[in-house]
């Protein structure tokens, strides 16, 4: 048992295992000064530059990587990547994120936010270290040792001194073989369940799109909408600008907030991600510092329609209806707020704003050179064309939709719970194997 501060790190010392600090079984390398990279050092081809943004499922997505000049690549030979290297993000929101390199399509290096792990010859396998760094023990260690208030980081020295327990290299090979087999099985199950969720989402979107643009009666007379992308609509429906069925659009306030969510008795400022899902998520918020006075006119209320004014192309313009909300949550600058008037049910209007017809208009008008930040102006939102049936028919459509959507939501929730249990089982299995609590030699015979 090793004690560090008020945290106890426990490892099973099976026969033949030794307790040791990470620095004695693996070398850690990082690159300093990479933030000084000049714009002309980025290229369309040449050596790869790996950042944590290019990590996908604990591997590097080489197709998404940047490229740098050969001269820049050669500046730091010690962090030129090789197969079996292990990379870890050492700061920021993705601190602790990992990528294990099976193969490299060409010369590659990493930026200054990443650490590179290489095993000491004859002492430890990098794949074994990879599994150790996935354990809750290591993540607890990072939380205790991290520094910073709004931007967290952990020093290379702290990671080097993380205490681990290792068996012989042959035993490590057996553990890695066992975990690779078991985690692949679990990951395949998770992938299948994620696909089920994707199919349910597609079914939900198709159901909503059909009834809010065509109605419930398949025999109703239709008319041309006078737009190529909307096609025909029921003849008694109107196609009109959003501004005629909503109140004034406003955007909020984005002060420098704390990095944590606000407690129930505190004021919080919504993050733009609160509208990314199918429903409004009030947990997507940050605490307003106690030194700042809240602008109470921006407090969110039931019945508000929120829409992101800045995000990726796929998420900009995402809309959600606030049905219930805790007090003391404020509108942020990257969100628009408006309400429906007597011409439209707010729930129907939000479904319309999330339809392919509205998405086509929003994405077409979004501006900005960066793919990670597109914006839509208030005038674009006001001028959006939406398809509206008479108010009583909107209510009938919503009554038809709600039980169907609730059923899909319930099934999706159950599948998410199954995925979480699989992830917990995966984590437990890894922890037990790399700390010697289970004997994998009996499992792989």
pLDDT (tens digit per residue) in 16-72: 789 889 999 888 888 755 556 677 788 888 899 888 888 888 889 998 888 988 988
10 band by pLDDT with thresholds 50, 70 and 90: very low
Q: What is the pLDDT of residues 75-86, one digit of tens each?
A: 878 788 999 899
pLDDT of 374 strictly over 70: yes
Q: Is the dihedral of CA 143, 146, 147, 149 positive or negative?
A: negative
Query: What is 238-388's CATH superfamily?
Result: DNA methylase specificity domains (3.90.220.20)
- For 180, the 3-state DSSP assignment is helix
pLDDT at 12 over 50: no
Residue 142 has pLDDT above 50, yes or no: yes
Structure tokens at 355: 């339809």
Tokens representing 193 are 């369940």
- Predicted pLDDT at 11: 46
Distance CA 149, CA 93 (A): 12
Residue 139: the pLDDT is: 87
Q: What's the confidence (pLDDT) of residue 408?
A: 96
Residue 128 · residue 175 · CB < 8 Å: yes
The pLDDT-based confidence of 361 (bands split at 50, 70, 90) is very high
pLDDT at residue number 2: 44
Q: Is the pLDDT of residue 177 over 90?
A: yes
Per-residue pLDDT reduced to its tens digit, 102-134: 888 999 988 878 889 988 777 888 899 999 999
Q: What pLDDT, on the 0 to 100 scale, is given for residue 36? A: 63
Angle between helices 136-145 and 391-434 (to 10 degrees): 100
What lies within 8 Å, CB to CB, of 214 at 6+ separation is 220, 233, 234
196-225: average pLDDT: 92
**Cβ-based burial of 399 (10 A; exposed 0-12, middle 13-18, buried ≥19):** exposed
Burial class (CB in 10 A: 0-12, 13-18, 19+), 189: middle
Give the span between the Cα atoms of 213 and 215, in whole angstroms. 6
pLDDT of residue 57: 83
Q: Is 375 exposed, middle or buried (0-12, 13-18, 19+ CB in 10 A)?
A: middle
Superfamily of domain 2-166: DNA methylase specificity domains (3.90.220.20)
Point out the least confidently predicted range of 268-277, 297-306, 432-441: 432-441
Which residues are bridge partners to 320 per DSSP? 306
Q: Other CB atoms closer than 10 Å to residue 309's CB: what's the count?
A: 23
Q: Is pLDDT above 50 for 437?
A: yes
Beta-bridged to residue 269, according to DSSP, are 286, 330
C-alpha–C-alpha distance, residues 106 and 70, integer Å: 12
- Lowest average pLDDT, out of 8-12, 76-80, 226-230, goes to 8-12
What is the pLDDT, as a whole number, of residue 78?
77
Range(s) of the chain covered by CATH 3.90.220.20: 2-166, 238-388
Among 424, 289, 306, 312, residue whose Cα is nearest residue 368: 312
Asked if residue 98 lies in contact with residue 37, where contact means CB atoms within 8 angstroms, the answer is: no
């Amino acid at each position: 048992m090793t004690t560090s501060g008020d945290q106890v790190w426990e490892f099973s010392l099976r026969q033949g295992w030794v307790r040791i600090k990470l620095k004695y079984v693996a070398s850690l390398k990082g690159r300093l000064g990479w933030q000084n990279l000049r714009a002309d050092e980025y290229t369309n081809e040449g050596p790869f530059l790996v950042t944590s943004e290019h990590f996908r499922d604990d591997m590097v997505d080489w197709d998404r990587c940047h490229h740098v000049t050969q001269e820049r690549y050669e500046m730091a030979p010690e962090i030129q990547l090789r197969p079996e290297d292990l990379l870890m993000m050492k700061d920021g929101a993705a601190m602790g994120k990992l990528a294990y390199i099976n193969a490299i399509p060409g010369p590659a290096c990493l930026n200054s936010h990443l650490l590179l792990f290489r095993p000491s010859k004859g002492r430890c396998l990098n794949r074994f270290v990879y599994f150790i760094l996935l354990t809750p023990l290591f993540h607890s260690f990072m939380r205790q040792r991290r520094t910073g208030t709004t931007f967290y980081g952990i020093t290379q020295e702290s990671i080097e001194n993380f205490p681990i327990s290792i068996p012989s290299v042959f035993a490590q090979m057996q553990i890695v073989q066992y975990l690779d087999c078991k985690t692949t099985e679990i990951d395949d199950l998770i992938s299948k369940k994620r696909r089920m969720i994707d199919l349910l989402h597609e079914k939900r979107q198709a159901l909503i799109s059909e009834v809010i643009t065509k109605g419930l009666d398949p025999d109703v007379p239709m008319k041309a909408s006078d737009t190529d992308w909307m096609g025909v609509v029921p003849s008694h429906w109107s196609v009109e600008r959003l501004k005629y069925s909503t109140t004034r659009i406003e955007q909020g306030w984005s002060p420098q907030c704390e990095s944590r969510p606000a407690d129930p008795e505190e004021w919080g400022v919504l993050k733009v991600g609160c509208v990314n899902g199918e429903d409004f998520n009030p947990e997507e918020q940050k605490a307003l510092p106690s030194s700042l006075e809240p602008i109470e006119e921006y407090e969110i209320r039931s019945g508000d329609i929120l829409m992101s004014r800045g995000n990726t192309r796929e998420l900009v313009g995402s809309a959600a209806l606030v049905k219930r909300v805790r007090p003391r949550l404020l509108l942020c600058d990257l969100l628009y707020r408006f309400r429906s008037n007597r011409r439209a049910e707010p729930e129907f209007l939000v479904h319309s704003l999330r339809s392919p017809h509205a998405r086509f208009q929003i994405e077409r008008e979004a501006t900005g050179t960066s793919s990670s930040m597109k914006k839509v102006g208030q005038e674009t939102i006001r001028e959006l064309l939406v398809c509206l049936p008479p108010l009583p028919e909107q209510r009938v459509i919503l009554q038809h939709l709600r039980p169907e959507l609730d059923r899909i939501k319930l099934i999706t929730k159950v599948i998410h719970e199954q995925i979480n249990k699989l992830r917990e089982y995966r984590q437990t299995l890894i922890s037990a194997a790399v700390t010697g609590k289970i004997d994998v030699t009996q499992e792989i015979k």
